[in-house]
Structure 1
Amino acid sequence: MSSKQTQARTIPTKQRGVALIAVLMVIAIVVIIAASMTSRLRLQIQRQQNIQQQTQAFWYAMAAEQFSRVLLARTITAEETVNLSQDWAQQGATFPVDNGTIAGEITDLRSCFNINALQNASSENGTAKVEFSPAQQAFQRLLELKLPDLTMPAEYLTARIADWLDEDSLLMTSGSAEQDDYASLAYPYYAANTLMASKSELRVILDLTPADYQALAPYVCVIPDDRSLLINVNTLTEQNAVLLSALIPTLTEDAAIEFINSRPETGFTTLEDVTSSAAFADITLADDVKSMLVFKSEYFNLTATAAYLESGFVLTSVLKKTDNNKIKVLARRFGDHG
C-alpha cells in the first residue's frame, strides 16, 4: 500500500473523531441547560406553592379578625362592663380548618399602660415641661417596680419617651433626649414628635437595650391616636396587677393581686365597689387616679395565628368599638413584632 493511500484513509478518520467530540460537547451543553431549566422550574413551582400557602394562611388570619369583630360586637354592649367572664376573653381556643388551624387571642387595651399617655401637652409659653404628669409619674413607678435592672434611671426613660412623643424639641429633663441627641448618633435619625403607632417604636429610644424592651413589653401597649391612660380594673390579671400599684403608690403589688383575686366574676360596676374592698380599706384615692380607673373598654388587641400546610401567618389588629356598637379596625401589623 502506498503512502498516499494511507494518508487518504487517515484524514476522514480524524474528521470523524472531531465531529464526534463536537457532538458530545453539544449534548453536554444541552444536558447542562436542561438541568438548569429543570432546577429553575422546580424552584419556581416551590416558590409559587409557598406564595399560595402563605396567601391562604393570610386569609385564614383575616377570617379570625372578622370573627373577632363579630364576637366583640355580640358580647359587649354599652350598658355592660367589660370583664374577663365574657366570651371575647376566653383564651386558648384553636379551630381546625382545611389543611390548617386558626387561633386567636383578644386582650383589652385598657389593661396595659398606653405609652401615648406619656406625651406632654403642647407648651404655650415655649418652655419645656419639668413636672411629671400623673401618667408619667405612674410610668416611672412601673419602671421602678418591674425593671430593677434598667440601664438608665427610670426618670430618664420616662422623660425620653415623653420627649419622643411631644411636638417640641425641648428637653424635659437633663437626662432626656431630643432631636440633636438622635441626629448625632453614628446612624442618625430624628425623634418622632408625635404619638406612637406601635410599642415596638420603643426600640429606638436612646440607650434602651433589647433586654430593657423585653422586660417592659408585657406591661405596655399603644392605642393609636389616643393619649389617655385608663385602666380597666375588670380585665387586669395577676401578671399585670402592678399597673394598679403604679397608679396608686400606697397599694403594694401583693395587695393589688389580692384585690384582683377577690374581684367578682363579672367585675366591678362602680368606683365605690372598688374602694369598699379590703385592699383599699386604708387607701384614699386622688382625684386624678379615680379618673383613670374604668370598668369598660372600647379598644382591643387581636393576635391571630393561622397555619396552612407548611406556612404560618401572624396578624395583630387593633380594634375599636364605636358608639353604634360596630367594631372598627384601627391598625394591622403582619408578623410577630414582640
Structure 2
Amino acid sequence: MKRKQQGVALVAVLMIIAIVVVIAVNMTGRLQLQLQRQQNIQQQQQAFWYAMGAEQFARVLLSRTLAGQETVHLGQDWALSGASFPVENGTIAGDISDLRSCFNLNALQNVVPASGGRVEQTAAQKAFVRLLELKASELSIPAEYLSARLGDWLDEDSLLSSAGSAEDDDYAALRFAYYSANTLMASVSELRVILDITPADYQLLAPLVCVVPEDNSLLINVNTLTEDNAVLLAAVIPELTEQAALDIIAERPEQGFASLDELFALTQLSSITVPDDAKSLLSLKSDSFQVTATAAYLESGFVLTSVLKINDNNQVKVLARRFGGQG
C-alpha cells in the first residue's frame, strides 16, 4: 500500500513538473516573440527616420541648387538619379523627379465662366484628350468621356458638364455607392474610383500622369522632359507630332533652353502655328517635385514618397507624404 502511495505521489510530481515545463516553454516563446516584435518595430522606426532624413536632404538640395536660377533643367544637381549613401547598419537611396514634366490631373478641373454660361473645354483638357489619343488608345472608355468625368470629379458642383461625364447620382447608383470628390485630387490613385475605369486602364494611365496637390495648373517644363515623356509636348501643341517632340528633346542644349523664344525658333516649331493657349502651358521653370526615398536598416526597409513645393522665397514645403510603394 505504501509503495502504491509513493507511485501515485511520483506521478503527481511528474505531472506538476510537466505542466511547469509547458508553461515555461510557452512563456519563453511569447517572450521571444515580443522581443522580436520590439526589435522589428525599432528597426522599422530607424528606417523611417533615415527616409525622413533623405527627404530633408532633398529639400536642402533643391533650395540650394535652384536659388537664383532662371531655369530648371536636368543638368542641375537635383536631377542626379541613383544616388545611394551608406549609413550605420543600412543605406539610403533616393530620386527627385519634376512634377512639371508630367500631366497634372488637377488641371482638368472644370472652369465655370463668370457669366454662368456653358463650360468650355480648357487648353489643359484638350491636351489631355490628345495625350490619351497618342499614348492610351487602348482605354476601355473614350478619351473625351474620361476627360469629362475627371472634370466633374474635380469641380465644385454636382452638375454634369457634357456627354459622357459623371456626377454624384452616377456614383450613388453603383453597387458600392459613394460620391464624387468635388475637389482637387491628392493622389493619382484616385483614378481608380472614376466611373468605368478598369485596373488595365489605370496601369495604362499611371505612367503618363501625376497629381500636384492643391494646384490646378498645368505647366510643362520643356527642360526636364525626357524621351519617355516627350509626348507631352506633342499633346500640348496640336500640330506637333510625337517624333518631332522627340527631336526637340534630342536637340535641347545640355543646360536646357535659356528662353522659350529659343525653343520656338527650332525648325520643328517655327514651321507650325503654336496657339497662345498652348504657349501658356509651356515653361522653363519648375516649382513642384516628388522625392522617392528608400531606406534600409538591418533587416527592415522603408519607402517614403514626398511631394515638395518651392515658393517665391525659395522655401521648400512638404505638400504630401505617402508611406510604402506606389499607390
Counterpart for residue 201 of structure 2? 212
TM-score by length of 1: 0.93
5+ residue gaps, structure 1, are 1-9
1:88 and 2:43 are equivalent in the alignment: no
Quote the offset at 1:32 in angstroms: 1.5
| Aligned equivalent of 2:244, options 249, 255, 266 | 255
Quote the offset at 1:26 in angstroms: 1.6
Local SS of the residue matching 1:239: coil
Local SS of the residue matching 1:240: coil
| Aligned equivalent of 2:105, options 109, 115, 119 | 115
Counterpart for residue 4 of structure 1? none
Counterpart for residue 288 of structure 1? 277
1:177 and 2:158 are equivalent in the alignment: no
1:221 and 2:210 are equivalent in the alignment: yes
Structure-2 separation of matches of 1:70 and 1:217: 29
5+ residue gaps, structure 2, are none
Quote the offset at 1:79 in angstroms: 3.9
Does the aligned pair in 2 maintain the 1:57–1:313 contact within 8 Å?
A: yes
Number of corresponding residues: 327
- Relative to structure 1, the CA distance from residue 201 to residue 133 in structure 2 (aligned partners, 3 Å threshold; closer, same or farther) is same
1:21 and 2:11 are equivalent in the alignment: yes
1:241 and 2:230 are equivalent in the alignment: yes
Does the aligned pair in 2 maintain the 1:122–1:167 contact within 8 Å?
A: no
Q: How does 1:1-338 map to 2 (within 5 A)?
A: 10=1, 12-122=2-112, 129=119, 131-338=120-327
Amino acid at match of 1:318: V
Does the aligned pair in 1 maintain the 2:220–2:283 contact within 8 Å?
A: yes
TM-score by length of 2: 0.96
Local SS of the residue matching 1:22: helix
Structure-2 separation of matches of 1:275 and 1:161: 31
- Relative to structure 1, the CA distance from residue 175 to residue 109 in structure 2 (aligned partners, 3 Å threshold; closer, same or farther) is same
Local SS of the residue matching 1:214: helix
Structure-2 separation of matches of 1:46 and 1:335: 22
**% identity of equivalent residues:** 68
- Relative to structure 1, the CA distance from residue 307 to residue 134 in structure 2 (aligned partners, 3 Å threshold; closer, same or farther) is same
Structure-1 separation of matches of 2:207 and 2:322: 18
Structure-2 separation of matches of 1:162 and 1:13: 92
Amino acid at match of 2:37: R
Local SS of the residue matching 1:300: strand
Does the aligned pair in 2 maintain the 1:118–1:135 contact within 8 Å?
A: yes
What root-mean-square deviation, in Å, do the aligned CA atoms of Structure 1 and Structure 2 show? Answer: 1.5
Q: Larger radius of gyration, structure 1 or 2?
A: 1
Quote the offset at 1:123 in angstroms: 6.1
Does the aligned pair in 1 maintain the 2:112–2:118 contact within 8 Å?
A: no
Amino acid at match of 1:189: Y
Local SS of the residue matching 2:223: coil
Quote the offset at 1:127 in angstroms: 7.0
Does the aligned pair in 1 maintain the 2:212–2:288 contact within 8 Å?
A: yes
Structure-1 separation of matches of 2:117 and 2:166: 15
- Relative to structure 1, the CA distance from residue 126 to residue 323 in structure 2 (aligned partners, 3 Å threshold; closer, same or farther) is closer
Structure-2 separation of matches of 1:323 and 1:233: 20
